[in-house]
């Protein structure tokens, strides 16, 4: 989640910097009138911000999908635990019966156990990779949905910039009146609920 929040903060800064550079580029035209028209006073900027942590944690889509990933993780943990216990029992049985085996039988069983251990480790790694991929996709989907909605929100409310407000991020102070977090969360959840109704 911290990576996602940092990306949000970076994009907010990049958007502001791009906007500033774009305004400077437009103001370098031949006509003085064009220069005056492209300049925007800081007083005229229509800016708002969202608390990124809150947007993510209170977004119903995120809560639903992260819950599904958590359940999947528990299922994987149980499966892995069962396989590990089975392997441990097989090792214990071998240790008890190794004395009655020939050298060749012992070597063959040891090789079999080494192979099973490797397979168990591979299985564990594959499960972890799958969960990691699911989590990465979830954050990507959340980002896309939030970005899409904020673009609509900005257009509907005549905003020129929406910043991501996180502790230790790029924004150190802002008036509470500029906080649109609750409004954005309500809109996101409404849009998500409507998308679920369409699927029924």
Class of domain 2-199 as given by CATH: alpha beta
Summarize pLDDT for 65-109 with one digit per residue, the tens.
999 999 999 999 999 999 999 999 999 999 999 989 999 999 999
Summarize pLDDT for 159-196 with one digit per residue, the tens.
999 999 888 887 778 888 899 999 999 999 999 999 98
Helix, strand or coil, per DSSP, at residue 118: helix
Q: For residues 7 and 33, what is the distance between their CA atoms, to the nearest angstrom? A: 38
Cβ distance 40 to 23 under 8 Å? Answer: yes
Report the pLDDT value the prediction gives residue 42, as an integer from 0 to 100.
52
Summarize pLDDT for 120-167 with one digit per residue, the tens.
999 999 999 999 999 999 999 999 999 999 999 999 999 999 999 888
Give residues with Cβ within 8 angstroms of 96, minimum separation 6. none
């Amino acid at each position: 989640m911290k990576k996602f929040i940092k990306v949000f903060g970076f994009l907010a800064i990049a958007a502001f910097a791009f906007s500033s550079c774009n305004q400077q580029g437009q103001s370098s035209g031949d006509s003085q009138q064009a220069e005056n028209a492209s300049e925007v006073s800081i007083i005229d900027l229509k800016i708002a911000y969202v608390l990124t942590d809150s947007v993510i944690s209170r977004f119903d889509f995120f809560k639903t999908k992260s819950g599904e990933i958590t359940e999947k993780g528990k299922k994987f943990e149980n499966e892995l635990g069962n396989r590990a216990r089975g392997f441990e029992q097989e090792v214990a049985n071998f240790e008890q019966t190794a004395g009655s085996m020939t050298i060749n039988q012992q070597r063959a069983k040891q090789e079999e156990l080494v192979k099973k251990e490797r397979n168990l480790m591979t299985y564990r790694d594959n499960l972890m990779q799958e969960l990691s991929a699911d989590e990465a996709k979830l954050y990507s989907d959340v980002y896309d949905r939030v970005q899409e909605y904020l673009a609509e929100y900005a257009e509907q409310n005549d905003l020129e910039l929406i910043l991501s407000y996180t502790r230790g991020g790029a924004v150190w102070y802002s008036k509470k009146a500029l906080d649109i977090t609750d409004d954005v969360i309500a809109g996101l959840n409404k849009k998500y609920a409507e998308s679920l109704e369409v699927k029924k």
